Amino acid sequence: MSDQGYSFGAANFEAANPRVAEALRQLSLILHGKEVVLIRLLACVFAGGHLLLEDLPGLGKTTLALAAARLLGMRFGRVQCTNDLLPTDVTGLSVYKAETGQFEFHPGPVFSNLLLVDEINRATPKTQSALLEAMGEDQVTVDGTSYALPRPFFVIATQNPVEHAGTFPLPESQMDRFMVKASVGYPSRDAERQILRLGSQRQDLFSFPSLFTAEEIVALQGRIEQDIRVDDRILDYVLDLAERTRNHPQLECGVSPRGAMMVLRVARSLAWMRGRDYVVPEDVRFLAPESLAHRLQPLAGGSSSRGEILQSILDAVPIP
């Protein structure tokens, strides 16, 4: 069940999905030489998941989120996390109106289609828990009343992996809500030369075309879930990967059933992007490092990272 010539870049999506190819081309103007990150972002959107970008400042994460919202026809919202950020700063709050004698709900920035949560690990655990409900249940609860979030609802969260002063590490339950955790990384020398020559292009975002609408994305998410087939051999492959993480001598705990479900959902999305109605093992292998590694919990004092442990598992489990 192999897909020969499995490669990436806008040209590889042109025949199967011209709008996806155009979205990749436009995003590549913002994030030069990072096509693999862009493909994972789009696959995550169409799978109905959330994305965590862990990287240093100044690599284009915020501009990428703005560009993605524009191209995908999504209403954009942003939360800049700080230690004094309150849950109501994210969700909204009820305000008493003297003229009516009633409380009126004022929605916060979470009521967006694409929410950028910048430096999420600077928010306190109480504020993080408000985001946990939004990401897990597509709703928020304020003063005992639950409010449904708009659809689609997609979170791009960022955090700095180096600076730890004044931060609150994300709990495992929060990490598990992210379908994909990726890193942008430094650009290549040629790509950085182009960035320095062209300068900031954030002002160009307003000229980007909207290639999709929010309603289309919701419909596509449903179609992908229903129409993209997953063979029993792919299911067994994912189950084998999950089981190896749970029994690995260097891991305290492995991938949960939710994690296994998420890697299949995003693999379906990637298959659709490439014009197939079925998932191949390469879809899973391409996405597994960013879909599964952040769900692993290495033993204290271990010498191997999450990524290294997962790669060793991918190398050991036979490909169907």
Indicate the pLDDT class of residue 263, thresholds 50, 70 and 90: very high
- State how far the Cα of 254 lies from the Cα of 295, in Å rounded to an integer: 7
**pLDDT (0 to 100) of residue 270:** 94
The tens digit of pLDDT for each residue in 219-250 reads 999 999 999 999 999 999 999 999 999 999 98
As a whole number, mean pLDDT of residues 263-281 equals 94
As a whole number, mean pLDDT of residues 212-223 equals 95
Cα–Cα separations (whole angstroms), residue 68 to 43, 115, 189, 209: 12, 11, 24, 11
CB atoms within 10 A of CB 71: 22
**pLDDT (0 to 100) of residue 7:** 60
- State how far the Cα of 262 lies from the Cα of 93, in Å rounded to an integer: 32
Residue 303, C-beta contacts closer than 8 angstroms, at least 6 positions apart: none
Question: Rg of the Cα trace of the chain?
Answer: 20
**pLDDT (0 to 100) of residue 170:** 84
Strands (E), 58-138: 76-80, 92-97, 102-107, 114-118
Burial track 238-257 (b if 16+ CB lie within 10 A, e otherwise): beebbebbeebeebeebbee
The tens digit of pLDDT for each residue in 76-112 reads 999 999 999 999 999 998 888 888 888 888 999 999 9
Cα–Cα separations (whole angstroms), residue 225 to 173, 179, 260, 282: 24, 15, 15, 19
Judge whether 248 and 309 are in contact, CB under 8 Å. Answer: yes
